[in-house]
A and B are shown apart, each in its own frame.
Chain A
Amino acid sequence: MNELLRRLLFLPPQASRMAEDIDGLHYFVILATMFASSLVGVVAWTFIVRFRQRTNRDATVRVESTLAFEVPMIVGVLSLFLLWWVIGFRQFLRISTPPPNTLDIYVAAKQWMWKFSYTEGPSAVERLTVPAGRPVRLIMTSRDVIHSLYIPALRLKQDVIPGRYVTMWFTADRPGTYPIYCAEYCGVSHSRMRGELVVLSDEDYGVWLANSEAQAVASRDLGGPAPPSDSNLTSVGQAVAVHRACFACHTIDGQRHIGPTWRGLYDSSVKLTDGRTVIADEAYLTKSMMEPRADIVDGFNPVMPSYHALLTEPETAALVEFIKSLRDVPTASGVALPKVETGP
């Protein structure tokens, strides 16, 4: 039944269970729409025929609606609309709330291409490779204008905004290759800003991973503006930190120095000088590199320079990955770690 309706309505294959659920609601709503409009058309046509005019000066009786008509109609239609809202909103909550322990992939959108950076495996342009059955979280930003990552087979889409990180998560259940489109007009080649989602079974994903790690070259000396695209992101991040002298102010062993330590920092709760408390997520870490004066940690001085012009997107992503990798490392004795709270 699902398959019949799916084909009838020209919907793409359902690459996830979430897509199936969304389609279920889709069928409900669209069939009701077709039914209602046909009903109105048929009733109107019936009246037109049944009550057709005899002479053009005919008198008619005065017919007035009553509450007995209006109230049930209004209540009925409103209830139906609200039912759709309830189901739709619950689905929306699900697609907006990633589970813990997702496989994170960084996405950079720029006119007119998609760049995917993996924690394990080489970064790629246009091709997003994920394992089937595992929750994946895309962490996305744009280099220039607003784009929108759209994967019809997953029924998912998220606007990608410059100056901000946004996320989108999914679990792709069905191996295959599915188109990716940009869905927010972004200039002359908007319609060519495409990609593909490659969902690999566990086995195939293992093979893909092994191949890409074999190609990875760990580089400790980065002179150029971008890390080689075939390196492991965490080690790249460490190399960038060395190159940019981050360790002049930040430690990785939990000790307080000129700046806060990176150990256990990711996803922890951070108190700022203006009284706010924030979670040290990817956006916070990135912002701290780009706008260090914006969120000063309580008890520290605003002396960090901005790396806005010094770090490229892949380097920033790599640094964030490196800081994330320090989340569970055992601390030096005698050092109190900030309390770790998971985000909302």
Chain B
Amino acid sequence: MSATTPGLIPQGGALSLPPTFVNDDESIRSWLLTTDHKRVGILFFVATALMMALGGAFALVLRIEHLTPERTIVDALAYNRLFTMHGVVMVFLFMIPAIPGAFGNFLVPIMIGAKDVAFPRLNIASFYLYFVGAVVVLIAMQAGGLDTGWTFYTPYSVQSPSAVVPTLMGLFIVGWSSILTGLNFIVTVHTMRAKGLGWMRMPLFVWSIYGTSIIQVLATPVLGLAVALVAIDHGFDWGLFDPARGGDPVLFQHLFWFYSHPAVYIMILPAMGVVSEVVCTFCRKNPFSYRAIVYSTLGIAFVGFLTWGHHMFVAGLSVFDAGAFGILSMLVGIFSAIKVFTWVGTMYRGSIAFKTPLLYVFTFLFLFVFGGMTGIAVATTSLDVHWHDTYFVVAHFHFIMVGGTLTAYFAGLHYWFPKVTGKLYSERWGLLAAALVSAGFFVTFFPQFLLGNAGMPRRYYDYPPEYQTLHVISTVGSWVLASGMLITVGYLFWALKSGQDAGNNPWHSASYEWLTRSPPPPHNFDDTPVFASDPYDYTETGATQR
């Protein structure tokens, strides 16, 4: 079993094994100074996973605090900082960088038959920018963190006596990482596809990373500007948003949301790419419409830039603006609907293997539709007046971010675990954890829709006692969710060490990354790849008998 197939942990007699990107040079220095996109991907994976754990820990504390209407375990000051840091860490240090940085880096060059990304040194620089920025944010947290909410609205963010400036400086640095990663992927996809691999034959995951990268490059600079202006106002008292000096605090919101709405598409597009891959592989089927997915991806990337005002319906926009942003928001929702339709259609007459990645995808489909349509609901202007800044919105975006993106992240984690490590995880534990994560998620966040309906505002430390029951249910759900995730960490670590060898293509997938060994060799392919086949061809005559 282990004598002939290379695994993540080299066995004795390693000299006779073909080299993988792991065992080719195992020194720490070679990892820290790597320019190999696969290793950069793993660095991103580890760093972002740690940030996810940190953000998750904050969330658990927040939920415990909400077991009672008044003080449970922390005071108001600490609570306000905790929910802010939960948002900052989760959005900027996990959700934005994780799938592109980890999965994108590892897979995109392989999926297009390239040896690496276009700018490998820029790639490792991107990782270190992320790392340094994250460290600065963590240092700011040590200094007490900030309490403005992850949205940093002025004038409060300029006035708040908390670690606003160092946190924003850290985020400014992290933003650079995002821009350069996006730049790298755009150039890679344009210039480094294997000979003969046209745009319309690339794996859909590559398209999703490409669409994400466009958003990263164009939107992130505006966030950088917005946070820099707040930091400057806070640190040097330049008062650009200070009404007493003629400033307009609402202008900050325009700058902030101009980035932060497209940012949510940075968070979901890569996840959608994962879903496309998992659906096709585990249903052994071509996508119901490849073009529909491609055009929807581009549609989301572009139209997503035109909808930011729907976060500001009650902020003082004109009625005309509210109407315009409302319609555009309806339009952007259609693209997601097209994708869901396509994924479900792909399952029709497939050969469906009920494995952990597919169970996560099933959960994704239900939760994403629910979350997405509640997004359409809050885009309905009159309804948003009631729901804005309540737990309804909190539930909506957690359905998409956790029920959508995180679920897809777990699907991809399990799907590509054998690709990266050459090992198999335990399917029984995987299914159990997936069930716990799915159920735990729903129990945590569905009650929050009801809390929002009932009028419970977000970012509230204390709450009226009539809301307690729903809060308690939500908190118990968070424990189930957390247990599912912890179990996952457990069996994956175990599989890393002692898992069964996977072989090169345990899922018998037709997609291009499975054409090479698992784990891949240092330059991705032993021979120059020629991608003659369709990555989704599972027909009788297709070259799928792997």
CB atoms of A and B under 8 A apart anywhere in the complex?
A: yes
Chain A interfacial positions (CB closer than 8 Å to B): 9-12, 22, 25-26, 29-30, 32-34, 36-38, 40-41, 43-45, 47-48, 51-54, 56-65, 69-70, 73-74, 77-78, 81-82, 84-85, 87-93, 95-97, 144-146, 148, 150, 152-153, 155-159, 161-164, 166, 179, 181-192
Chain B residues within an 8 Å CB radius of A190:
80, 459-461
> What separation, in Å, do the CA atoms of A85 and B155 have in the docked complex?
32
In the A-B complex, the 3 residue pairs with the closest CB atoms = A163-B243, A152-B455, A91-B382
Residues 290-349 (chain B) with a chain A CB within 8 angstroms: 292, 313-316, 319, 322-323, 326-327, 330-331, 333-334, 337-338, 340-342, 344-345, 347-349
- Which single member of A29, A163, A182 contacts B244 (CB below 8 Å)? A163
A148:B156 contact, CB within 8 angstroms: no
Chain B residues within an 8 Å CB radius of A43:
344
Chain B residues within an 8 Å CB radius of A158:
314
Instruction: Flag whether B528 is at the interface (Cβ < 8 A).
Output: no
B354:A52 contact, CB within 8 angstroms: yes
Instruction: Flag whether B266 is at the interface (Cβ < 8 A).
Output: no
B344:A150 contact, CB within 8 angstroms: no
Number of interface residues of B (CB under 8 A): 97
> What separation, in Å, do the CA atoms of A12 and B454 have in the docked complex?
5
Instruction: Flag whether B527 is at the interface (Cβ < 8 A).
Output: no
Chain A residues within an 8 Å CB radius of B382:
22, 25, 87-92, 95
> What separation, in Å, do the CA atoms of A92 and B366 have in the docked complex?
30
Known: A63-B286, A191-B76. Contact between A57 and B545, CB under 8 A?
A: yes
Known: A53-B352, A157-B314, A164-B316. Contact between A60 and B539, CB under 8 A?
A: yes
> What separation, in Å, do the CA atoms of A38 and B390 have in the docked complex?
25
A47:B352 contact, CB within 8 angstroms: yes
Binds A, one of B44-52, B165-173, B373-381: B373-381
Residues 480-497 (chain B) with a chain A CB within 8 angstroms: none
B292:A36 contact, CB within 8 angstroms: no
Residues 383-430 (chain B) with a chain A CB within 8 angstroms: 383, 385-386, 388-390
- Which single member of A148, A159, A185, A191 contacts B149 (CB below 8 Å)? A185
> What separation, in Å, do the CA atoms of A51 and B385 have in the docked complex?
44
| Besides A33-B374, A70-B292, A188-B77, 7 other A-B contacts (C-beta < 8 A) | A26-B377, A30-B377, A36-B373, A85-B326, A153-B455, A183-B457, A187-B160
A62:B464 contact, CB within 8 angstroms: no
A51:B453 contact, CB within 8 angstroms: no
B350:A40 contact, CB within 8 angstroms: no
Instruction: Flag whether B533 is at the interface (Cβ < 8 A).
Output: no
Query: A43 → chain B, closest Cβ, in Å?
Result: 6
Residues 147-161 (chain B) with a chain A CB within 8 angstroms: 147-149, 153-156, 159-160
Instruction: Flag whether B370 is at the interface (Cβ < 8 A).
Output: yes
Chain B positions 474 through 514: 1 when the CB is less than 8 Å from some CB of chain A, otherwise 0: 00000000000000000000000000000000011000000
Instruction: Flag whether B289 is at the interface (Cβ < 8 A).
Output: yes
> What separation, in Å, do the CA atoms of A339 and B34 have in the docked complex?
76
> What separation, in Å, do the CA atoms of A44 and B370 have in the docked complex?
14
B454:A11 contact, CB within 8 angstroms: yes
| A76, closest chain B residue (CB) | B337
Chain A residues within an 8 Å CB radius of B316:
159, 161, 164, 166
Instruction: Flag whether B250 is at the interface (Cβ < 8 A).
Output: yes
Chain B interfacial positions (CB closer than 8 Å to A): 76-77, 80, 147-149, 153-156, 159-160, 243-244, 247-250, 283-286, 288-289, 292, 313-316, 319, 322-323, 326-327, 330-331, 333-334, 337-338, 340-342, 344-345, 347-354, 358, 362, 365-367, 369-370, 373-374, 376-377, 379-383, 385-386, 388-390, 450-451, 453-455, 457-464, 470, 507-508, 537-540, 542, 544-545
A155:B508 contact, CB within 8 angstroms: no
B334:A78 contact, CB within 8 angstroms: yes
> What separation, in Å, do the CA atoms of A334 and B457 have in the docked complex?
57
| A148, closest chain B residue (CB) | B389
> What separation, in Å, do the CA atoms of A56 and B248 have in the docked complex?
62
Q: List 21 A-B contacts (CB under 8 A).
A: A11-B453, A22-B385, A25-B380, A32-B373, A37-B373, A51-B283, A56-B507, A58-B351, A58-B538, A59-B284, A65-B345, A87-B382, A92-B319, A95-B382, A145-B153, A179-B455, A185-B458, A188-B76, A190-B461, A191-B76, A191-B457
> What separation, in Å, do the CA atoms of A1 and B219 have in the docked complex?
46
Chain B residues within an 8 Å CB radius of A38:
366
Query: A78 → chain B, closest Cβ, in Å?
Result: 5
A185:B286 contact, CB within 8 angstroms: no
Chain A residues within an 8 Å CB radius of B148:
185
Query: A189 → chain B, closest Cβ, in Å?
Result: 7
A62:B362 contact, CB within 8 angstroms: no
Chain A residues within an 8 Å CB radius of B545:
57
> What separation, in Å, do the CA atoms of A257 and B513 have in the docked complex?
84
A159:B243 contact, CB within 8 angstroms: no
- Which single member of A36, A53, A85 contacts B353 (CB below 8 Å)? A53
Known: A37-B370, A70-B338. Contact between A92 and B322, CB under 8 A?
A: yes
| B390, closest chain A residue (CB) | A183
> What separation, in Å, do the CA atoms of A328 and B92 have in the docked complex?
58
> What separation, in Å, do the CA atoms of A168 and B297 have in the docked complex?
39
Chain A residues within an 8 Å CB radius of B327:
82, 85
Query: B74 → chain A, closest Cβ, in Å?
Result: 12
- Which single member of B330, B345, B358, B455 contacts A82 (CB below 8 Å)? B330
B326:A44 contact, CB within 8 angstroms: no
Chain A residues within an 8 Å CB radius of B388:
157, 183
Query: A170 → chain B, closest Cβ, in Å?
Result: 11
Chain B residues within an 8 Å CB radius of A65:
288-289, 292, 342, 345
B380:A57 contact, CB within 8 angstroms: no
B454:A152 contact, CB within 8 angstroms: yes
Known: A22-B382, A92-B381, A188-B80. Contact between A57 and B508, CB under 8 A?
A: yes
> What separation, in Å, do the CA atoms of A102 and B381 have in the docked complex?
24
| B364, closest chain A residue (CB) | A44
Known: A36-B369, A64-B288. Contact between A146 and B341, CB under 8 A?
A: no
Query: B509 → chain A, closest Cβ, in Å?
Result: 10
Chain A residues within an 8 Å CB radius of B80:
185, 188, 190
The residue in B327, B345, B508 that gathers the most chain A C-beta atoms within 10 A of its C-beta is B345
B450:A51 contact, CB within 8 angstroms: no
> What separation, in Å, do the CA atoms of A182 and B508 have in the docked complex?
56
Chain B residues within an 8 Å CB radius of A88:
326, 380-383
A44:B243 contact, CB within 8 angstroms: no
Chain B residues within an 8 Å CB radius of A70:
289, 292, 338, 341
Chain B residues within an 8 Å CB radius of A156:
385-386
A191:B463 contact, CB within 8 angstroms: yes
